[in-house]
Chains A and B, each alone.
Chain A
Amino acid sequence: MGDRGAPDPEGVVDLIRAGDARTIARAITRAESGDPGVEAALRLLHRHTGKAHVVGVTGPPGSGKSTLVDKLVKTYRERGLSVGVVAVDPSSPFTGGAVLGDRIRMQGRALDEGVFIRSLATRGSLGGLSKACAETVRILDAAGYERVIIETVGVGQSEVDIVKLADSVLLVSVPGLGDDIQAIKAGVMEIGDVFVVNKADRDGADRVVREIRAMLETAWVNTGAGGRLIASGGAHHAASPSNTAAGVADEDPHAFLAKLPPVLKTVAETGEGVGALVEAVEAHRAKLVESGLLEERRKANAAAELKAALAARVLARLEAGPAGAELLRLAGELATRERDLYDALETLEGILSASGSPLAGRSGTNPGQAGD
């Protein structure tokens, strides 16, 4: 294997790119546990990423995401594309343990060499993903998987981190979850590029489709569809006059509807509708590429990831230095009401600026260097 102890980064990268399952799996484990030993390989790997189309699948618990992912993988395989799957399930906030059960529904793909399935626990992340998700996607991407599907934890109303990682987001709904007010709330319902009503053989599926369509049409009229939806619609201008109610009325209704994200019915259990769903995802991908929005979206996502990583590093450095003790002391004073939050923050900011930058000890050419 040769990747235990101090792995040779070039060797690890070569094995990952050659699709060696154990090296891929071990690199993911190392990235997940924050092992500094894997960082050199991840750096080298980065330039080999960006080829895979990343598809996020999100929706409430029990909506059939895992079964749907299984059928998506099957359909992609029939079309000759290799697929990586990252399936996220929650960690216990108390013990840190987790039961990762998404593989149960994916057994049909178990022995296919063109499929790599990895289960991740959230390990404290609250946005529906796990901290190591981005690195896991990059590792699978570099390993040559042409589509990487991320299945989020079962989401409620506000876990929207998937938009920061996926090129195309599938939002899975099912009949019977609530009335039409659910569809007009902010949050999860806004992030879909393709909307799926799964378990469509059940009563009420058509109603859910109508409610989602109505939500999307209203969003278009009110805002020109908003950031995420614009990408799906292919329009680059928000709230331009043609998107006002009057503008919509003038427009050919078919052309208008064609701009909205598709809403599709599936029965994942039988595979019904999954072919059309894959078509819709691929059409979204083509639109993203053609319009240049893919680059735009990836830049925004990279900025978000960089900011989050920087914030984590600044905090880690602060805590490791003399300011760490100061932070705890200030926290005590906050609790006893001797100080207020803003006062404490100013004191800490003072420490940060007095020591120059918290990253002052770091070489400017190596912003991603591991900590001490």
Chain B
Amino acid sequence: MERTIRVLVAKPGLDGHDRGAKVIARALRDAGMEVVYTGLRQTPEQIVQAAVQEDVDVIAMSILSGAHNHLFPRVTELLAEKKVDDVLVIGGGVIPEGDYEFLKSKGIAAIFGPGTPTATTVEFIRTHLKR
């Protein structure tokens, strides 16, 4: 049975720049996925709550404020607390490459920086789903 891939696109933290998140939302939609877009200024708690209720396969977060090293790992921690182990977590936005390794060690499967072709993200999601 073919299951529709569901993705939560979220903007954690306090920056108000959601162009990138909207471009990704649109690209995933055009790739046949259902994208739950939650809007700006989400706390990690809100993101995880929404991900559980919406039963998404993927959480895709975009951040431009520089708080990624704090907020992204908080999301994976909360998922672990709730024993959610089958959701793929990815990130994007303005994130120094030097932080990529740290974020990966915290369970962020991939970071897609500015200029990443949307097809790359789509392909990554399709090939890395956890369920």
Please give the residue numbers on chain A whose beta carbons come within 8 Å of chain B beta carbons, in ascending order: 1, 4, 21-22, 24-26, 28-29, 33-35, 91-92, 95-101, 103-104, 107, 110-111, 116-119, 121, 123
For A110, the closest partner residue in chain B by CB is: B46
How far, in angstroms, from A325 to B52 measured CA to CA in the complex? 43
Chain B residues with CB under 8 A of A121: 4, 34
For A96, the closest partner residue in chain B by CB is: B32
Q: Does B26 contact A (CB under 8 A)?
A: yes
> Could you tell me the distance in whole angstroms from the C-beta of B36 to the nearest C-beta in chain A?
5
Query: Are B50 and A103 in contact, with the CB atoms below 8 A?
Result: yes
Chain B residues with CB under 8 A of A97: 28-35
Chain B residues with CB under 8 A of A26: 55
Q: Given that A33-B4, A111-B49, A116-B53 are known contacts, is A104 also in contact with B37, CB under 8 Å in the complex? A: yes
How far, in angstroms, from A120 to B23 measured CA to CA in the complex? 21
Contact digits for B17-61, partner A, Cβ 8 Å, 1 yes 0 no? 000000001101111111111110010011001101111000000
> Could you tell me the distance in whole angstroms from the C-beta of A90 to the nearest C-beta in chain B?
11
Chain A residues with CB under 8 A of B36: 100, 103, 119
Query: Are A95 and B32 in contact, with the CB atoms below 8 A?
Result: yes
In the complex, how many residues of chain B place their beta carbon closer than 8 angstroms to a beta carbon of chain A?
Answer: 31
How far, in angstroms, from A111 to B53 measured CA to CA in the complex? 11
How far, in angstroms, from A101 to B54 measured CA to CA in the complex? 12
> Could you tell me the distance in whole angstroms from the C-beta of B76 to the nearest C-beta in chain A?
17
Pick the contact of B54: A98, A119, A123 (CB < 8 A): A119
Chain A residues with CB under 8 A of B3: 29, 33
How far, in angstroms, from A68 to B50 measured CA to CA in the complex? 19
Query: Are A95 and B29 in contact, with the CB atoms below 8 A?
Result: yes
Query: Are A21 and B53 in contact, with the CB atoms below 8 A?
Result: yes
How far, in angstroms, from A4 to B86 measured CA to CA in the complex? 11
Question: Which residues of B100-131 are within 8 A (CB) of A?
Answer: 131
Query: Are B37 and A101 in contact, with the CB atoms below 8 A?
Result: yes
How far, in angstroms, from A112 to B94 measured CA to CA in the complex? 32
Query: Are A110 and B49 in contact, with the CB atoms below 8 A?
Result: yes
> Could you tell me the distance in whole angstroms from the C-beta of A276 to the nearest C-beta in chain B?
28
> Could you tell me the distance in whole angstroms from the C-beta of A120 to the nearest C-beta in chain B?
9
